[in-house]
Structure 1
Amino acid sequence: MFIKKIFSKYLISLRQSNGLNQSKMSEILAISQTVISKLENGERAASIELLYALADHFNSRTLYGCVD
């Protein structure tokens, strides 16, 4: 549960710092807005595929560290 909360805060921060709403973020990642909402609320864990997609799109070394 603790990891989901940390990730949810990170995801919200990443999305907002890039000027994106949940709808646009879901388009970029090819997932539903409902999934984005659940991730941001700590109701769902991120898949390895989603972590890679986030890392690739946002050039995030932090996320690459989560999956390497």
Structure 2
Amino acid sequence: MIFKRIRNMREDNDLKQVQLANYLNIDQRTYSRYERGEITISVETLCKLADFYGTSLDYLAGRTDEK
């Protein structure tokens, strides 16, 4: 579920994967693997994404639909 949320949040904000990868200080290929659900995202990275989007970890994890 997380991988779908982070992809949708990125697309809703008209961002490229490389922009998020740069923000997170990771390789674009790693970020792409996050969005495909191929690798697990660390809690630290999830916190950074939640802060970036101004949302909660619960939203990114699919525990709530309230951003």
* TM band (smaller chain): 0.7 to 0.9
Partner amino acid, structure 2, of 1:7:
I
When the two chains are superposed, the root-mean-square deviation of aligned CA atoms in Å is 1.2
Report the number of matched residues. 59
Unaligned runs of 5+ in 1: 1-5
CA–CA distance in 1 between the matches of 2:34 and 2:15? 15
Higher relative contact order (CA closer than 8 Å, sequence separation 6+): 2
TM-score for both structures, normalised by structure 1: 0.78
Higher helix share: 1
Unaligned runs of 5+ in 2: 62-67
TM-score for both structures, normalised by structure 2: 0.79
